[in-house]
Amino acid sequence: MRELYPAIEPYHQGFLQVSDLHTIYFEESGNPQGKPVVILHGGPGGGSQPIYRQYFDANRWRIVQFDQRGCGQSTPHAELRENTTWHLVEDIETLRKYLNIDRWTVSGGSWGSTLALSYSQTYPEYCKALILRGIFLLRKKELDWFYQEGASYFFPDAWEEYLQPIPIDERDDMISAYYRRLTSDDQQVRSQAARAWSIWEASTSKLIPDASLIERFGTEDFADAFARLECHYFMNKGFFTSEHQLLQNIDRIRHIPTVIVQGRYDMVCPMFIAWELHQAFAEAEFVIVPDAGHSMTEAGIRSALIEAGDRMSGD
């Protein structure tokens, strides 16, 4: 099993105004002359984390991270206006140009894989390689599995807590019921819903539940952006023209070297999603981690991602 690379600090940090309303935080670490890689965080609304830098060899990579609209250090916090998949795709491209990067590797897990596919299918000419993990294509059956019925059978105790803010007569459509509360003018209603939504995901993200992860996801500031932005994107079906859009457009990226890493026991983004991407995109390397759930910090997933980065740094 591969261990994380040593912790490093950014050598360049800044804020980039991407619209009259939104400003995004970004940072660079590693080798300024290295191969560029941009890391797309999950959520939407999850924000970037310092640990992401440790998945790439700082001697060989120029590591770019940023907080997507409305989360992390980007402003305004938890803002839903002007916040769609296609706004984020353009933000990635704006950042690439701003940093004078010709082409880069794009890495993303969970929602980050959705965004990586969306960006690469829009701008394939600027993508040198893709590293994808915990595949999420934002289709109805995927949302139903996690937010309506499916994962609930494996985590009934955590599911009970997720149900609490929603009256029984609204539970036939949990995402809509949560959306009403997450957009409420009543701060107490909004906060209760945000914490329950976020803790549900944290409780199911690892093969062995992690109390520290659950605690972090339950903090009010994090939960507000995370829950509101996720629910906003899910209510709007990812802002895709078709729920199969990312699979239908695979021909646009078939030539891009790609690695797909998937935990077999992923409850958040179950393996059937990655399998369907694998079937549509046979050219991509497909790595199944037999003893992992959803989180990139689980040993097998961590090791596979680091190995993928090492291989691609030599291309």
Q: What ranges in the chain are assigned the alpha helix state H?
A: 85-98, 111-122, 140-147, 156-163, 174-182, 187-204, 211-217, 220-235, 245-248, 271-280, 299-313
- Which residue in 110, 113, 120, 295 is the catalytic one? 110
**Boundaries of domain holding 165:** 141-237
Q: Do 31 and 106 belong to one domain?
A: yes
Provide the angle, in degrees to the nearest 10, between the axes of the packed helices 187-204 and 156-163: 170
244 and 194 fall within a common domain: no
Do 54 and 183 belong to one domain?
Answer: no
Please tell me whether residues 270 and 166 are part of one structural domain: no
Domain tally, the chain: 2
Indicate which CATH number applies to the domain containing 30.
Answer: 3.40.50.1820
Q: Per residue in 130-162, is it b (16+ CB within 10 Å) or e — as a string?
A: bbbbbbbbbbeebbebbbbeebbeebeebbeeb
Q: Please say if 110 is a catalytic residue.
A: yes
My answer on whether 38 and 135 are in the same domain is yes
Picking from 204, 220, 237, the residue at the C-terminal end of a domain is 237
Evaluated on CA atoms 248, 254, 256, 260, the torsion sign reads positive
> The pTM is what?
0.97
Structure tokens at 58: 């700082």
5 in a structural domain = no
* Rounded-to-10 torsion of CA 190, 196, 201, 203: 160
Q: Is the dihedral of CA 229, 19, 39, 276 positive or negative?
A: positive
pLDDT by residue for the chain (315 residues), tens digit each?
999 999 999 999 999 999 999 999 999 999 999 999 999 999 999 999 999 999 999 999 999 999 999 999 999 999 999 999 999 999 999 999 999 999 999 999 999 999 999 999 999 999 999 999 999 999 999 999 999 999 999 999 999 999 999 999 999 999 999 999 999 999 999 999 999 999 999 999 999 999 999 999 999 999 999 999 999 999 999 999 999 999 999 999 999 999 999 999 999 999 999 999 999 999 999 999 999 999 999 999 999 999 999 999 985
Whether residue 266 lies in the annotated active site: yes
Catalytic one of 232, 266, 295, 303: 266
Is 313 in the active site?
no
